[in-house]
Amino acid sequence: MDSEISTIRATGEMVSPPAALIDASLRLPPRDMDLVGVTMRQLACMSTETARASIYCVPVGKDPKTGLQKFKLGESIRMAEICQNAFGRMMVDLQIHEQTDTSVTVKAMMMDLQTLNIYPGIGTGNFKSAGRYKLALAAACSIARRNAILSMCKPYTAAILDDVKRQIVHGLSESGSVKEALLKLEEELKGYQVSREQIKTAVAGEATSADKVVLLIGILNAIRDGAVEAADVFGKPDTSSKSDVQPPARRSARGNPKKDPPPPPPAPASLGELFAMAGIQAPDVWLDAEFSIKNIAQITPVQEAAVRQELERILNENG
């Protein structure tokens, strides 16, 4: 009873639940909404990973005073799945609503089998080639299902979003990796052709590094699930960013490129290597002996004298 019933069709009327299913659902006791709320909070805040997966951040226009992009923290597809688990008794029907050469729109109808109320949702997936159609369709279905479920559960999810955010920040502060998390998120966003400068501009309105991490996590979730495009958030791909351009070669006073000096040769690690550098012939048994002189680029007269002295000592010890 508590598992979702889901279908997807290209045409036709939306499917109605079987009468027997409705009758069985109506015979169950009403939901304990206090328990539903507790279950949702526990599932969403079970760990930092589940909290991170539970949020979306989507752009909602620019601040007229500062000109900075504004974002809204919202519930992700994962949060909708948590709602479905906590509430139970949901039937979702999916139907392709509209299709073009570059996008597909899916309509969802979610019926609450306890109250028999129906909640609509819609989702769109974009694709640039026929090979990506199935991915776009899957994204549209997930978004439509999410929107239908959240249209019923929104009052309850809004109450735990702050707890989810606190769980994310708490997890970051425990590991002390806020700066590291920002760097990792920047690397992930590079895969969507987003430069560091674009990221800095997008998160400029956030007060703390932890807030910036939460924002970028939500943005990445929304991009991955197809809820928004990277260009919608950060603008068109920036190929001229300073961070993505190799620095020019250094030039000498005459204007010619100046070559970097060659790296120093590796430091000799054994007595045998030092002997060889000093031009000393030694038996193989001595070539394997470890010597304490390290981190030198070339042997010096003082080091050569030390090697010769060490060789003399070994010869005396061995008769």
- Give per-residue pLDDT as tens, 66-107: 777 788 888 999 999 999 999 988 888 899 999 998 899 999
Helix ranges, the chain (H): 19-27, 33-44, 48-53, 77-87, 133-158, 161-175, 178-190, 196-202, 209-224, 230-234, 271-278, 284-287, 301-317
pLDDT at residue 256, as a whole number: 56
Binned at pLDDT 50, 70 and 90, residue 294 comes out as: very low
Q: How far apart are CA 46 and CA 48, in angstroms?
A: 7
pLDDT at 173 over 50: yes
Q: Which residue has the higher pLDDT, 230 or 15?
A: 230
pLDDT at residue 239, as a whole number: 57
Hey, which residues does 122 pair with through a beta bridge?
107
What radius of gyration do the chain's Cα atoms show?
32
Place of tokens 């939460």: 214
Place of tokens 């394997």: 288
Please report how the helices 133-158 and 77-87 are oriented relative to each other, as an axis angle in degrees rounded to 10.
60
- The rounded mean pLDDT for the chain is 75
Task: Please calculate the CA angle 291-292-297 and round it to the nearest 5 degrees.
Answer: 95
Question: Per the structure block, which two tokens stand in for 273?
Answer: 């290597």
Hey, which residues does 58 pair with through a beta bridge?
72
Question: Per the structure block, which two tokens stand in for 86?
Answer: 């906590």
Question: Per the structure block, which two tokens stand in for 249?
Answer: 């070669």
CB 115 within 8 A of CB 87: no
Which of 28-37, 93-102, 269-278, 310-319 comes out lowest in average pLDDT? 269-278
Instruction: Please report, rounded to a whole number, the percentage of residues in the chain having pLDDT higher than 90.
Output: 17
pLDDT at 293 over 50: no
Hey, which residues does 75 pair with through a beta bridge?
55
Q: Which residue has the higher pLDDT, 37 or 171?
A: 37
pLDDT at residue 108, as a whole number: 93
Q: Of 36-40, 185-189, 222-226, which has the strongest mean pLDDT?
A: 36-40
Contacts 24+ apart (CB under 8 A), 245-252: none
Q: Which residue has the higher pLDDT, 98 or 241?
A: 98
- Full-prediction pTM beyond 0.75? no
CB 111 within 8 A of CB 90: yes
Binned at pLDDT 50, 70 and 90, residue 15 comes out as: low
Q: Of 158, 1, 28, 16, nearest to 84 (Cα)?
A: 1
Widest CA span of the chain, in angstroms? 104
pLDDT at residue 284, as a whole number: 41
pLDDT at residue 120, as a whole number: 93
pLDDT at 149 over 90: yes
Q: How far is CA 128 from the centre of its chain?
A: 23
Which of 55-64, 85-94, 171-180, 249-258 comes out lowest in average pLDDT? 249-258
pLDDT at residue 150, as a whole number: 92
pLDDT at residue 308, as a whole number: 66
Which of 60-64, 228-232, 279-283 comes out lowest in average pLDDT? 279-283
pLDDT at residue 197, as a whole number: 87
pLDDT at residue 275, as a whole number: 52
Q: How far apart are CA 177 and CA 217, in angstroms?
A: 14
CB 40 within 8 A of CB 156: yes
pLDDT average, residue stretch 35-61: 89
pLDDT at residue 307, as a whole number: 64
